[in-house]
């Protein structure tokens, strides 16, 4: 699918132009950037490739029921990398089908 010259789906004003975007550190993919709002859009095929790469690099975890919420255990590698401690505050949000956790400090 080629989005070159198509109207931007975010601002509905600008036109999309092909760029090389660093989707993840060191991973450059073909993307399209709006010349008005500068938002970056990916084709569905590229989006699927990026998601597959992220899953490949991810740890599989099962959710645990805690009261009316669900809890997620954080792999030791991430605990060590981010120097996480029990009872540390984490802000949790979602974006699309992703869960994003921001560590309280920094
Ligand atoms: Zn736009």
- 32 C-alpha to ligand 1 centroid (Å): 10
Same domain, 53 and 20: yes
Question: Burial level of 79, CB count in 10 A (0-12/13-18/19+)?
Answer: middle
Q: Is the pTM of this model over 0.85?
A: no
**pLDDT (tens digit per residue) in 31-75:** 999 999 999 998 888 888 888 887 887 888 899 999 999 999 998
- 3 C-alpha to ligand 1 centroid (Å): 13
- For residue 80, being part of any structural domain is answered with yes
Position 106 pLDDT exceeds 60: no
Which two three-digit tokens encode residue 90? 């984490």
Rg of the chain in Å (alpha carbons)? 18
Position 105 pLDDT exceeds 70: no
pLDDT of residue 77: 87
Range of the domain at 90: 73-103
Mean pLDDT of 74-102: 90
Same domain, 48 and 79: no
- 90 C-alpha to ligand 1 centroid (Å): 32
- For residue 9, being part of any structural domain is answered with no
Domain count, the chain: 2
- 15 C-alpha to ligand 1 centroid (Å): 7
């Amino acid at each position: 699918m080629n989005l070159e010259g198509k109207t931007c789906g975010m601002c509905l004003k600008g036109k999309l132009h092909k760029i090389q975007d660093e989707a993840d550190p060191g991973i450059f993919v073909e993307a399209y950037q709006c010349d008005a709002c500068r938002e970056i859009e990916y084709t569905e095929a590229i989006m699927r490739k990026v998601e597959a790469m992220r899953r490949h690099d991810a740890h599989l975890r099962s959710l645990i029921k805690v009261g009316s919420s669900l809890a997620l255990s954080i792999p030791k590698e991430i605990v060590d990398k981010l120097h996480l401690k029990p009872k540390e505050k984490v802000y949790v949000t979602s974006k699309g089908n992703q869960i994003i956790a921001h560590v309280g400090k920094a």
